[in-house]
Homo-oligomer: A and B are copies of this chain.
Amino acid sequence: MANISKKVSWSGRGDDRGERTPLLNGAEDGKYNRHVLNFVFQSLDYDNSENQLFLEEERRMSHMGFRCLETRRWVICGLIGFLTGLIACLIDIAVEKLAGYKYSAVKQNIEKFTEFGGLSISLILWAVLNSAFVMVGAIAVAFFEPFAAGSGIPQIKCYLNGVKIPRVVRLKTLAIKVFGVICSVAGGLAVGKEGPMIHSGAVVAAGVSQGRSTSLKKDFKIFEYFRRDTEKRDFVSAGAAAGVSAAFGAPVGGVLFSLEEGASFWNQMLTWRIFFASMISTFTLNFFLSIYHGKPGELSSPGLINFGRFDSDSVQYNLYEIPLFIIMGALGGVLGALFNVINYWLTIFRIRYIHRPCLQVMEAMLVAAVTATVSFAMIYFSNDCQPLGQDNTEEYSLQLFCADGEYNSMATAFFNTPERSVRSLFHNPPGSYNPLTLGVFTLAYFVLAVWTYGLTVSAGVFIPSLLIGAAWGRLFGILLSTITSSQSIWADPGKYALIGAAAQLGGIVRMTLSLTVILVEATGSVTYGFPIMLVLMTAKIVGDYFIEGLYDVHIKLQSVPFLHWEAPPTSHWLTAREVMSSPVTCFNRVEKVGRIVDVLSNTSTNHNGFPVVAHTTENDEPGKICGLILRSQLIVLLKHKVFVERASSRLSHRKLQLKDFRDAYPRFPPIQSIHVSQDERECMMDLTEFMNPTPYTVPQETSLPRVFKLFRALGLRHLVVVDNENRVVGLVTRKDLARYHLGKDGLEELHLAQT
């Protein structure tokens, strides 16, 4: 938390800190949540605290030492990739097995009852099976680790942006996440298993790079050098990239995802390591899946979702199709925005009324049952029979009321894992689906997917988006070839399915470069790069007109102080003086323990960074800056009782080392847990050795965009504002910058609130 005691509000709204609004709850009007920044989120310290201890350690290190560190980083990245790939493999196999059992059971049941009637029993069986799976998953999430809910991408976005989201990179979260996603996909919900992979990769990275697990209370005593936010965040980027890579078989896309979401500063070696982790991840998955499928060494499944091979004939597109693609992009943007708006209101409804875990589990079970029912009804009432192909790619082809040698085409879309349905829509030959089936399917699946996203289950939105898009895209293609009534190049509906899928996904998540590359890598062919880029761009422009992307909607709903790439364009009016928090609580170089304890214990401010000044007087004259010290550092100092009085009796007390700080990282004890006696309160503490002696500073006249750029480029947590005498006059933190955003009527300022 920033040193926000009094806020000089440029917009004249005055002091807004008095309001204490419960997070996401009890807001009088629904819109309110969008104008709040939550007070509790803390930032990562991406900037190294270069204090004396740190410099001594760095200076002691030889050239070989740095080489070893670098090698260790590579090893860690390799491990991250390997473990992420293994997890992806586990999820894939578990889902395949469980879904296989379920569909076989239901299929047998349906076949049994088709002739005699009594299909309602099949429906009930299906619904019960679905609900059971989902119930197990939802209970795990709702009761044991609510942070494992959803895809985890918004959380990882925030983490990479520099916001410390509590519990997000814990081992327990990973376990629940993996278990939950298996249950929800096997439970037939309109979800994918790809999004959670990104979160899983990030957790793996955070765990491996620290060489210990605080959840398991196990310290391997390795990689201790990396126990700080700077290094950890770099590894988490690699983990997220490995996750994307395993999910989509898209190593380059993974790197770009990490960069798009996280990088404040591009470093070639780091990027190359991230790429290494991504490559290892997709390779591991590919390798183990090839063994599982009984064809070891035949590396044909680089990702969890495989778009299948687009043959060279169908891959071509013509110049005159480009306007059509743009139209599809716009359509995707509109549908995506619609998705996001509905989901936004639904989420607000959920926050307000469905916040008890058991209610959440029940809602998830309800959705599972409804999904089964809708699917069943659609299959039942559709009479779209198609002849069974020679290759018989449909694993669970349902004959139902079709003639022998035919199957129900609606069932291929519903009676299947969504990944397979997507692939069918891309590759089944023209004529496999009739337009009505596709239309009804799009509508039904759209509703189900909107309802499902945000449930208290672990699940992703990529695959449902792709599926919706592929369905209406294919429909679009079929209609086109009907209108032109020629069997020309138009007639390949698979191509339009791909473009539709891209448009819909782009309209919902609004990722740009990384998504283009992910989709191109997933199709395995670079030929579609240009149309996919055009479609994603159009979808983003059109969609942004209505509402932000789905992840951003959810980030805003969480009131996270998210920093965008640049300051809002019209913010040159503001200077550091207006933006900063002041007055700032400062410490002297040699400070009384009592004062430190009092300041740290003050729950109403809960500051995290304190400028150290040469001399503070009790009157309002500010002191000259000579350093910056963090709450976490002070806590460690207090815990080890590094007081000046004790230092004189040197023999009794060893010198504090960087290791003591690393051991306490990342869960520094709260101040309340540290006992300081009345005698000790009178002692003094010398902060010189531990503070960062060269914090970044800016003068008061610096414009907001300039402050923003410095803050963002260096991943700062605190930026000290000084006057021309170098005296501390204010402190800029993440929340001070994230408050400003561009609204409909120009620059707007968000309120700060605390849960």
Contacts of A50 in B (CB 8 A): 702-703, 706
In the complex, which of the residues B249, B268, B512, B694 contacts A702, with contact meaning CB atoms closer than 8 Å? Answer: B694
A218 at the interface (CB under 8 A from B): no
Q: Which residues of B contact A572 (CB under 8 A)?
A: 55, 58-59
Known: A259-B266, A260-B268, A265-B264. A524 touches B527 (CB 8 A): yes
- Interface-forming stretch among A137-145, A182-190, A311-319? A311-319
Chain B residues lying within 8 Å of A702, measured Cβ to Cβ, are: 50, 694
The reply to whether the CB of A521 lies closer than 8 angstroms to some CB of chain B is: yes
Identify which of A259, A269, A297, A694 gathers the most chain B CB atoms within 10 Å of its CB: A694
A529 contacts chain B at the CB level, 8 A cutoff: yes
Binds B, one of A61-69, A127-135, A643-651, A660-668: A61-69
A274 to B, closest residue via Cβ: B513
In angstroms, Cα B714 to Cα A710, docked, is 7
The answer to whether B268 touches A265 (Cβ under 8 A) is no
Is the Cβ of B316 less than 8 Å from the Cβ of A626? no
Partner of A63, one of B59, B524, B526, B742: B742
| CB neighbours of A58 from chain B (8 A) | 572
- In this assembly, does A114 line the interface, its C-beta being within 8 Å of a C-beta of chain B? no
Contact A693 B701 (CB under 8 A): yes
A562 at the interface (CB under 8 A from B): no
Complex CA gap A618/B276 in Å reads 58
Complex Cα distance, B32 from A42, in Å, reads 52
Stretch in A345-353, A369-377, A448-456, A563-571 with 4+ CB within 8 Å of B: A563-571
Do B694 and A698 have beta carbons less than 8 Å apart? yes
Q: Which residues of chain A (548-567) have a CB below 8 Å from chain B?
A: 565-566
- Measured CB to CB, the closest approach of chain B to A605, in angstroms, equals 27
A626 CB contacts on chain B under 8 angstroms:
724
CB distance from A159 to the nearest CB of B (A): 17
Report A685-700 residues with CB < 8 Å from chain B CB: 693-694, 696-699
- Please tell me which one of the listed residues B318, B527, B570 contacts residue A62 in the complex, with CB atoms under 8 A apart: B570
| A contacts with B, residue count (CB < 8 A) | 86
Contacting A287 at CB < 8 Å: which of B276, B319, B625, B746?
B319
Contact of A512 with B268 in the complex, beta carbons under 8 Å: yes
Taken together as a complex, chains A and B put the C-alpha atoms of A651 and B570 apart, in Å, by 32
Q: Is the CB of B513 within 8 A of A272?
A: yes
Tell yes or no: A606 within 8 A of B by CB: no
Picked from B63, B693, B725, the residue with its CB within 8 Å of the CB of A569 is B63
The distance from the CB of A366 to the nearest CB of chain B, in whole angstroms, is 39
* Interface flag for A292 (CB, 8 Å): no
Q: How far is the CA of A66 from the CA of B566 in the complex (A)?
A: 13
State the CA gap A529–B255 with chains docked (Å).
13
Cβ of A267 within 8 Å of any chain B Cβ, yes or no, is: yes
A404→B276 CA distance, assembly (Å): 52
Contacts of A272 in B (CB 8 A): 512-513, 537
A319: chain B residues at CB < 8 Å are 287, 296-297, 299
7 contacts between A and B (CB under 8 A): A63-B570, A264-B266, A265-B709, A299-B317, A524-B527, A693-B701, A694-B701
Alpha-carbon separation in the docked complex, A275 to B565 (Å): 17
The reply to whether the CB of A638 lies closer than 8 angstroms to some CB of chain B is: no
Pair A565/B267 contact, Cβ less than 8 Å: yes
* A530 and B267 form a contact (CB under 8 A): no
Asked if A521 and B516 sit within 8 Å, CB to CB, the answer is no
CA–CA, A714 to B697, complex, Å?
Answer: 15
Contact at B316–A724, with CB atoms within 8 Å? no
Binding site for B on A (CB under 8 A): 48, 50, 55, 58-59, 61-63, 66, 249, 251-252, 255, 259-260, 263-269, 271-272, 275-276, 279, 282-283, 287, 296-299, 302, 309, 312, 316-320, 512-513, 516-517, 520-521, 524-527, 529-530, 533, 537, 565-566, 569-570, 572-573, 614, 624-626, 693-694, 696-699, 701-703, 706, 709-710, 713-714, 722, 724-726, 742, 746
In the assembled complex, how far is the CB of residue A255 from the closest CB belonging to chain B, in whole angstroms? 7
A218–chain B nearest beta-carbon distance, Å: 31
Chain B residues, CB < 8 A from A271: 260, 513
Q: Which residues of B contact A697 (CB under 8 A)?
A: 697
Could you tell me the distance between the alpha carbons of A272 and B569 in the complex, rounded to whole angstroms? Answer: 18
Q: Which B residue's beta carbon lies closest to that of A54? A: B572
Please list the 4 inter-chain residue pairs (A to B) with the smallest Cβ-Cβ separation, ordered nearest first: A66-B569, A58-B572, A694-B702, A713-B713
CA distance A326 to B702 in the complex (A): 52
Assembly stoichiometry (copies)? 2
Q: What's the Cα separation between A537 and B259 when bound, in Å? A: 21
B516 and A275 contact, CB distance less than 8 A:
yes
A699 partner residues in chain B, CB cutoff 8 A:
693-694
A99 to B625, CA, bound (A): 70
Residue among A263, A282, A512, A526 with the most chain B CB within 10 A? A526
Residue of B nearest to A517 (CB): B252
Which B residues are CB-close (under 8 A) to A533? 251, 275-276, 279
Report Cα–Cα, A260/B270, bound state, in Å. 11
- Chain B residues with Cβ below 8 Å from A714 are 709-710, 713
Partner of A530, one of B279, B296, B696: B279
- A703 contacts across to B, CB distance below 8 A: 50, 55, 694
For A267, the chain B residues whose CB sits under 8 A away are 565-566
Closest to A271 in B: B513
Contacts of A710 in B (CB 8 A): 696, 714
State the CA gap A121–B299 with chains docked (Å).
54
Most-contacted residue by chain B among A297, A529, A724 (CB, 10 A): A529
- Please name all residues of chain B whose beta carbon is closer than 8 Å to the beta carbon of A520 when the two chains form the complex: 252
- Besides the known contacts A272-B537, A626-B724, A697-B697, 19 further A-B residue pairs in the complex with CB atoms under 8 A apart: A63-B746, A66-B570, A249-B526, A259-B266, A260-B266, A264-B265, A266-B266, A268-B513, A276-B533, A283-B530, A299-B319, A302-B526, A521-B526, A524-B527, A525-B525, A625-B724, A694-B699, A694-B706, A726-B726
Nearest B residue (CB) for A534: B279
Residue of B nearest to A302 (CB): B526
Rounded to whole Å, the gap between the CB of A379 and the closest CB of chain B is: 35
Min CB distance A492 to B, Å, is 16
A7 to chain B, nearest CB (A): 22
Q: When A264-B265, A526-B521, A724-B624 are in contact, do A299 and B275 touch as well, CB less than 8 Å?
A: no
| B-chain residues with CB within 8 Å of residue A264 when the two chains form the complex | 265-266, 713
Contacts of A276 in B (CB 8 A): 533, 537
Return chain B residues, CB-CB under 8 Å to A282. 530
Smallest beta-carbon distance A267→chain B, Å: 5
Are A269 and B565 interface neighbours, CB within 8 A?
yes
Kindly state the separation between the CA atoms of A573 and B55 in the bound complex, as whole angstroms. Answer: 8
Q: For the complex formed, measure the closest distance between the CB of A549 and the CB atoms of chain B, giving whole angstroms.
A: 12
For A266, list chain B residues within 8 Å (CB): 259-260, 263-266
Question: Are the C-beta atoms of B259 and A529 separated by less than 8 Å?
Answer: no
Residues of B within 8 A of A527 (CB): 299, 524
What's the nearest-Cβ distance from chain B to residue A248, in Å? 11
Max chain B CB contacts within 10 Å: which of A61, A268, A520? A268
